[in-house]
Amino acid sequence: MNRAVALLVLAVFATGCDRTFSAEPWDPPIGAAPAGPIAPRADCANQDPLRRPLFGDLHIHTGFSMDANAVGNDTTPDDAYRFARGEEIPVFSGEPGKPRTARLERPLDFAAVTDHAEWLGEVRLCRDPASEVYDTSGCKIFRGEEQSRIAELLGMTRGFFPKLLGLVDLDFKRADEVCGADNGLCRAGMRTAWAELQASAERFYDRSADCSFTTFHAWEYSRSPNSTKIHRNVILRNELSPEFPISAAETGHARGLWPQLRDLCNATGTGCEAIAIPHNPNLSNGRMFEVWYREEGMEQQRAEAALRAEMEPIVEMSQIKGSSECRNGMFNVLGDTDELCDYEKYRDMSGLELEDCQERAENGATASKGCTSRVDHVRYALLEGVREKNRIGVNPFKFGFIGSTDNHLSTPGQVAEWDQPYKFGATRRQALTIGEQSRAIAHMNPGGLAGVWAEENTRDAIFDAMKRREAFATSGPRIVPRLFAGWELPADLCGREDFADVGYAQGVPMGSDLPVSPDTDSAPVFAVSALRDTGTAAHPGGKLQRLQIVKGWVDDEGRFHQKVVDVAGDKDNGASVDLDTCQPQGRGADQLCAVWQDPDFDATRDAVYYARAVENPSCRWTTYLCNEWTDGPKPDSCDSPLIPKTIQERAWTSPVWFTPSK
């Protein structure tokens, strides 16, 4: 092996295939959003001043993404939006010569294609036969028509990494062969690909009075230092945008992403506005919500914390790679053991022992390496934000919740456990085989959905709902949770038809701060409800088992405390599921509601509250496929004690915060 190859091999293993290893800004820099008119739209015929629930998916990849395209997905953003509207599309099956189609049983209300900004231009150039670099060796390696010598030496012949080697040089910078010496070709390719993504979003946005479907201009910023996932989905309010997406290939840290979004979009005065959504922090080794500015001066710390809170109002709670809500037994987390924290723990299904990071951060989670931190879980990241607020006066982690899929098949909202929920496309045997893999497909799940409470199904209404954090996450079902908090909400609110009227008039909705109490001796009152997902005639939804309030606070020693209270329903309702048929058994509720007052309220201490609605047990997707297996001996995941047979689907409201008046 020559010296250059040895250096590349060393770089590969030192960085865990980090696509931000040699971040190098564009020259000239990305252009700011230009002034321009926003296309007009008709007033919606269906408007609700008390807001209505809308469901969508804000994390979808198509064949425009390097990783999706490299493993065989050649679908387009148009395909993704067609699927979201309920149309049938062809999808990558994982088996050459065996095409497959997919259709969403119920259309979504909104969606955003969030293709990876990294290598977006290169993929566009290498996919286009008219491109002047189409026949280069680099593009042929990316398309799989040639084998990279480096990949051969590394023993890597499958997946997207061997194909990525056609697009990068020895320093993991853009390859001159594909991009040109000044990266001008890839800049042009990036601009073209972004224009096509934008045109697709515009084609499928319903601007009529029907307001039936909303699209967003969006992309994913995908920083993965040393195999640690610190990704964000950037969502734009409207069609006004910077010249093209900001990627981790030029901006190697989110600390640089937020100022650029502000300077190139939000602060331009053009009407451009962006937010960033951190996704699946459960694989971030403590880095997604790391407080890295503590060595700065106090004013700089406050400024950075405030900018982060402004740019990231929501976080992705649930997706294909599991739940990021909570984990039992974490460092300096006291209080209740929450048995529901075990839900869809991606890293645990590998059987590896995970070390607690405590107050440090490490790397390697996506390669099944490194510790796990309490701040890899949004419940404790919320409390880290409270701890920061107590220290510097600004809470950088004041976010609401959504779910999404991270689907790489252009199939937004494909979350049904009975469906075929593969991220990249795979045979059923591949999906159910664990073998020696620490990151098997069986460790994944179909993903979640984003919910918002909005007056109408338009970009402005949904974007505003996300900014004010009146949003909720589900693990997949279309459960509808609602939360209000106040000081004088009536005890009989659950039995009244004016639940929402009174909630808004006498309290605040999810995502809000409680106002100052008019009575120093009173405790906050929470009105929470949930409607089950009724499903369809072919696939009825599950019944609700219970409704909970989760409370968190930080003590004087900086330790985190959690308390989980069942406020409606019954965890001992006897509900179960027949594992052979996946038919539910036992009783459950169509709707749950409660008015709860915190009996342990401390008016001198910050606190954060959110609600969780939980379904009765149901079959996990792996159980459905194992039950249907007829092709010889069943794959090993069907009998693995690490793969759950059942799950309890759920929904989470965004939090409500209490801050002492002094």
Q: Greater confidence, 419 or 605?
A: 605
pLDDT tens, residue by residue, 42-72: 999 999 999 999 999 999 999 999 999 988 8
Q: Say whether 544 sits in a helix, a strand or coil.
A: strand
pTM beyond 0.85: yes
Give the residue-averaged pLDDT of 630-657. Answer: 96
> Residue 53 and residue 26: Cα distance in Å, rounded?
41
Give the residue-averaged pLDDT of 358-385. Answer: 96
pLDDT score recorded for residue 20: 40
User: Closest Cα to residue 543, out of 573, 522, 580?
Assistant: 573
Q: Which residue has the tokens 């594909």?
A: 178
pLDDT score recorded for residue 358: 96
pLDDT score recorded for residue 24: 84
pLDDT tens, residue by residue, 174-206: 999 999 989 999 999 999 999 999 999 999 999
Q: Is the pLDDT of residue 123 over 60?
A: yes
Give the residue-averaged pLDDT of 562-576. Answer: 97
User: Closest Cα to residue 647, out of 423, 408, 372, 318?
Assistant: 318
* Phi and psi angles of residue 432, each rounded to the nearest 5 degrees, phi first: -100, 0
pLDDT score recorded for residue 647: 98
Q: Is the pLDDT of residue 221 over 50?
A: yes
Assign residue 534 a region (left: φ > 0; alpha: ψ between -120 and 50; beta: otherwise).
alpha
* Phi and psi angles of residue 302, each rounded to the nearest 5 degrees, phi first: -65, -40
Q: Which of the four pLDDT bands, split at 50, 70 and 90, describes residue 422?
A: low
pLDDT tens, residue by residue, 463-504: 999 999 999 999 999 999 999 999 999 999 999 999 999 999
Q: Is the pLDDT of residue 6 over 70?
A: no
What residues does each domain of the chain span?
Answer: 50-116+191-462, 484-658
pLDDT score recorded for residue 421: 61
DSSP assignment letter at 294 = T
User: Closest Cα to residue 47, out of 205, 208, 211?
Assistant: 211
Q: Greater confidence, 479 or 423?
A: 479
The end-to-end CA distance of the chain, in Å, is 66
pLDDT score recorded for residue 3: 44
> Residue 95 and residue 77: Cα distance in Å, rounded?
22
Of all residues in the chain, the percent with pLDDT exceeding 90 is 83
Q: Is the pLDDT of residue 657 over 50?
A: yes
pLDDT tens, residue by residue, 14-32: 333 444 445 688 999 999 9
Amino acid making up residue 542: G
At how many degrees (to 10) do helices 184-204 and 120-127 cross? 90
pLDDT score recorded for residue 1: 42
Degrees to nearest 5, angle at CA 138 with 132 and 143: 90
User: Closest Cα to residue 331, out of 290, 291, 373?
Assistant: 373
Q: Greater confidence, 158 or 288?
A: 288
User: Closest Cα to residue 330, out of 299, 286, 396, 277?
Assistant: 286
Are the beta carbons of 618 and 388 closer than 8 angstroms? no
Q: Is the pLDDT of residue 9 over 70?
A: no
Q: Which tokens in the block code for residue 120?
A: 């977006």
Tell how many helices (H) and how many strands (E) occur in the chain.
16, 27
What CA–CA distances, in Å, run from 96 to 64, 71, 87, 162, 264? Answer: 20, 12, 23, 19, 43
pLDDT score recorded for residue 654: 98
